[in-house]
Amino acid sequence: MAPTTTRPVIGTVCVPGSKSITNRALILAAQATGPSILIAPLRSRDSNLMAAGLRALGISIEDHEDGSWLVTPGPVVGPADIDCGLAGTVMRFLPPLAATARGVVRFDGDPHARTRPMATVLDALRDLGADIAGEGLPFTIAGHGALAGGVVTVDAAASSQFVSGLLLSGASFAGGVSVIHRGDPVPSLPHIQMTVLALRHVGVEVDDSEPNRWTVRPGPVSPWTTIIEPDLSNATPFLAAAAITGGAVTIKNWPSSTTQPGDEIRMVLQRMGASVELVDGDLTVTGPAQLQGIDIDLHDIAELTPTIAALTLFAAGPSHLRGIGHIRGHETDRIAGLAANITALGGDVRADHDALHITPRALHGGAWPAYADHRMATAGAIVGLLVPGVCIDDIDSTAKTLPDFDRMWDDLLGGVS
């Protein structure tokens, strides 16, 4: 049962490292010219699966008592079996690196992972010279010790991860890689900007000067040296708790400049009437007496949709969350899942292909299925703050990116129930 509160939520939270940056850093460190120490990485199911996959390919990753990882690169080799779990970054970032291995590498994952789009990256790798059997999980790569690389055209409208995955290993392809996107706009472009910045951090030459074309030159990859930023998307439920209860929550170590899409929660909360202040690395959100509805295009920051949808249920007027069609292919169909859960609690929601239209009304308790999706689970926790009797069936799904979420949530609320 989700904890409920009748008082403003006030507190300070430290969130662990970014999953997106951690998994990019792991892939790059595996290709580096020497050892890397990853400081403040996220330890979650997704990042642990990435580390396990790299270890299976022959990369040494040592755990240190301070939470850091020592990554020592070496030849990428098979045979290997890779468990992707439900992690898009693992199933889309590791295959391009595995294509440079010598030996057979087999990929599989959770049952729902087998339904997630994969053909774009697999077909692209075939065009670049990879030997692959299968169109989605499970699939097998027969590595020959190198990949030719070159120019490839893809339709990445379903996920920016298709582009990022190819770029992250491009420096290890014989001819580098040039990825050209053709189709509807690529979603979550900040994640591709994150990839480009990560590549440049390790000395890889990247040309992104032309829209919808990204080129990575072949060459050495320097060891990773950048401290992993806190995961700003994981911070958003805690900020939402302040926003809907009229409280005040501070997140420590918020970066002044970042490529993480989660940073946009500041803009969203301000538009909904909350006060947002960033001072010396501390971000504080103070909730208003009444949140306002919002009409917003979330195409580039769609991972925030579950948090924002939960907020809009308690606003003064209707909200329209647009440009989110691609989240139907995330850990679950998030549009359908949110619409079903909100309706089940008595809410007024209309879903179309790429939007949610929500009109606030009185809600009642009931089941809130998480669909094994961490962001669906945290959205239910937000709703449960003000609606007694919300029962989340799988709060443990938050371990995908934030293993201690339930403890952190209880700590912030002071153990209320």
Q: Which residues are annotated as a binding site?
A: 19-20, 24, 88, 116, 159-161, 188, 303, 330, 334, 375, 400
Give a three-class secondary structure readout of the chain. CCCCCCCCCEEEECCCECHHHHHHHHHHHHCECCCEEECCCCCCHHHHHHHHHHHHCCCEEEECCCCCEEEECCCCECCEEEECCCCHHHHHHHHHHHCCCEEEEEEECCCHHHHCCCHHHHHHHHHCCCCEECCCCCEEEEEECCCCCEEEEECCCCCCHHHHHHHHCHHHCCCCEEEEECCCCCCCHHHHHHHHHHHHHCCCCEECCCCCEEEECCCCECCCCCCCCECHHHHHHHHHHHHHHCCEEEECCCCCCCCCHHHHHHHHHHHCCCEEEEECCEEEEECCCCECCCEEECHHHHHHHHHHHHHHCCECCCEEEECCHHHHHCCCCHHHHHHHHHHHCCCEEEEECCEEEEECCCCCCEEECCCCCHHHHHHHHHHHHHCCCEEECCHHHHHHCCCCHHHHHHHHHCCCC
* Rounded CA separation 226/39 (Å): 8
The binding site for 3-phosphoshikimate consists of 19-20, 24, 159-161, 188, 303, 330
Catalytic residue among 229, 264, 303, 331: 303
First to last CA, the chain: 8
Strand order in the sheet with 206-207: 150-154, 177-181, 213-216, 206-207
The binding site for phosphoenolpyruvate consists of 19, 88, 116, 161, 334, 375, 400
* CA nearest to 386, candidates 181, 184, 193, 246: 246
CB 260 within 8 A of CB 194: yes
CB 202 within 8 A of CB 224: yes
- Is 264 considered catalytic here? no
Report, as residue numbers or ranges, the catalytic residues. 303
